[in-house]
Structure 1
Amino acid sequence: MTIEQKQQEIIDEFAIYDDWMEKYEYIIELGKELPLIDPGKKTDDRLIEGCQSRVWLDATIENDKLQLTADSDAIITKGIIGLLIRVLDNEKPEDVVKSDLHFISDIGLQEHLSPTRANGLLSMVKKIKLLALSAIPK
């Protein structure tokens, strides 16, 4: 499945819900489904700066594809990073860097977050793209 197809799948899933309370509940459920990060990788150097809550992100390369794992101490934030991982995990670093993550605005996520959470979301996207950029062979 391409990045675009994964985004469309998320857009379709969110279209089912009528109001933002239901959408928040769905995001929380997605966070609960996020695969656990290795506790040894919950280190300060993996913390994403700019997030209100603590968010750890780990990226490795396997078979020329970015492998992402993450965790957060806030359930809504865990769901948000889970959405990003769902779209960008197991993709070529070049594709991650070039990706236009329009699903964020298409589902109305950014406008329904507090300013600090919206900044955190931008920090998560930036960190994932920087990790992907650093993984591209020179």
Structure 2
Amino acid sequence: MATESFEAIVEDFEFLEDWEDRYRYVIEQGKAMTALDEALKVPATKVDGCASQVWLHPKIDAGVFSFDGDSDALIVRGLIAVLRSLYNGVAVGEVGKIDAHAELARLGLHEHLSAQRSNGVRAMIERIRSVAAAA
């Protein structure tokens, strides 16, 4: 059920031989992402439960879900980019059907993130799912 964008990341990960290369790849994904406007970095968009500062700004346009995000940590910014590839462009009613943990497991992320980072990813996924469910 993953998007083409996420499938491209899965394919890229298959070519990267070690975790350090994959880690750099995730960071590069975050660097390539447009920074979130400072005016959107407010308490309402801040995600609690993350070790770093994280902001997610969801949008629903014509029934299609997307979000922008930002973080003060490079790896977390990269994780936001990965989550964007998983969720952006999905019908809002389908967001809750995506098994993000299973999809991310295909990348082996859970094996290489600290407990705090894993908790932060879970918090971001829950925010995404709750916004979509409320729509």
Secondary structure at the aligned position of 2:69 is classed as strand
Q: Which blocks of at least 5 consecutive residues in structure 1 are unaligned?
A: none
Aligned residues: 134
Q: Distance in 2 between matches of 1:58 and 1:80?
A: 15
Q: Distance in 2 between matches of 1:100 and 1:6?
A: 16
Secondary structure at the aligned position of 1:123 is classed as helix
User: For 1:1-138, what aligned pairs fall within 5 Å after superposition?
Assistant: 3-101=2-100, 102-135=102-135
Q: Which blocks of at least 5 consecutive residues in structure 2 are unaligned?
A: none
Q: Distance in 2 between matches of 1:26 and 1:53?
A: 19
Pairwise CA RMSD of aligned residues? 1.3
User: Amino acid of the residue matched to residue 124 of structure 2?
Assistant: M
Could you list the per-position Cα deviations for residues 67-104 of structure 1 after superposition, in whole angstroms to 9, with x for gaps in the alignment?
Answer: 20000000000000110011101211111111122221
- Amino-acid identity (%): 32
Could you list the per-position Cα deviations for residues 42-70 of structure 1 after superposition, in whole angstroms to 9, with x for gaps in the alignment?
Answer: 00111111100010001121111112000
The answer to whether the 8 Å contact 2:47/2:56 transfers is yes
Q: Distance in 1 between matches of 2:37 and 2:2?
A: 25
Q: Give how far 1:106 is off.
A: 1.0
Q: Give how far 1:39 is off.
A: 1.6
User: Amino acid of the residue matched to residue 116 of structure 1?
Assistant: Q
The answer to whether the 8 Å contact 1:58/1:69 transfers is yes
TM-score under structure 1 length normalisation: 0.91
Q: Give how far 1:4 is off.
A: 4.5
Could you list the per-position Cα deviations for residues 1-37 of structure 1 after superposition, in whole angstroms to 9, with x for gaps in the alignment?
Answer: x635443322111111111111110001000011222
